[in-house]
Amino acid sequence: MMRAATAFLSLIPTALSFATTKPSPSIHRGASSKLTAKLGDTIDFAKYEGLGNDFILIDDRDKSDPSLTPEQSERLCNRNFGIGGDGVIFALKAPAGEDYDFTMRIYNSDGSEPEMCGNGIRCFAQFLKDLGEDQESYRIKTLAGPIIPVMNDDGTITVDMGEPILDGPTVPTTLAPNAEHNSVLEQTHTCNGKEWKISAVSMGNPHAIIFVDDLEKDIDFEKDGPALESDTGAFPAKTNVEFVQVMSPSHLKMKVWERGAGPTLACGTGTCALVVAAIRAGKVPRAGKEGVRVTLPGGDLFIEWREENNKIYMSGPATFSFKGQATLKDRP
């Protein structure tokens, strides 16, 4: 993979300066970038992926705000003219006087800013560890509230994702509540000329979960996904869309169309949301600490919805891919 990236980038040396290294257990902090980088500035980055959901990580631990704009981040995420990625994640310092270790901000590949990202938070935690912030766990401030990733001995990361939000208007969705907690559970809704049964759950960001008998036959993913994502009549802030097939009482399989990123290989918050929806709809029982196995295009995550505190715990990998430098440019 790195050979291909290096060969490609060598074709456009004036557009992007880039240097790769072999994966290393530590990533050294580069020169501090300015609060907002300018055209022509060179930035240091590291690339990580969580089950193929890939991110550009920027070390901004000396800053309160991202050093790049949403527009600059969008350009870096371009897979033809930039580094390529599903988003840019910034490791920022904790707010003064608040009980956090760090702050995480993320810009999607379209320049929009989500509240949180489940695969992204695992990559964020691994990035911190590789930078030398060697803690067993981190208390991270996100736009969705506090998130706590824990570094496991087997190399995986378990993230306390907090409690799911079930109240329909808070998700937010305008679909009529039809279940306990003023929630939307398999509510009928028409979109893209089709009738769907939608469950709405927020993990700090909105999710529309749809159960199908066959992921390959029952949906037109490239058309139904974006249509549901942008159906602001039902989801005023737009929504992530998860199509789910029940494989067994302990195994779910999904495809995701992410708000602001489109089709991705994995979505951590979506995986948490769909397990909640599946348990509430009686599709699967509530599992113990081993969790429910969810197979995504990029691999498996394990999700536990703990009855004793109503919190959701997500376990999975985060992998360092490469690091380098990129020069900001004004196109595309």
Q: How many CA atoms lie within 13 A of 125 on its CB side?
A: 30
CA-wise closest residue to 140 among 113, 106, 173, 170: 106
CA distance 83 to 39: 16
Q: How many CA atoms lie within 13 A of 101 on its CB side?
A: 16
How many residues does this entry show for the chain? 332
User: Using an 8 Å Cβ cutoff, are 306 and 61 in contact?
Assistant: no
CA distance 212 to 141: 35
- Active-site amino acid positions: 117, 267
Q: Which three-class secondary structure state does DSSP give residue 137?
A: strand
CA distance 54 to 48: 6
- Cross-strand pairs, 126: none
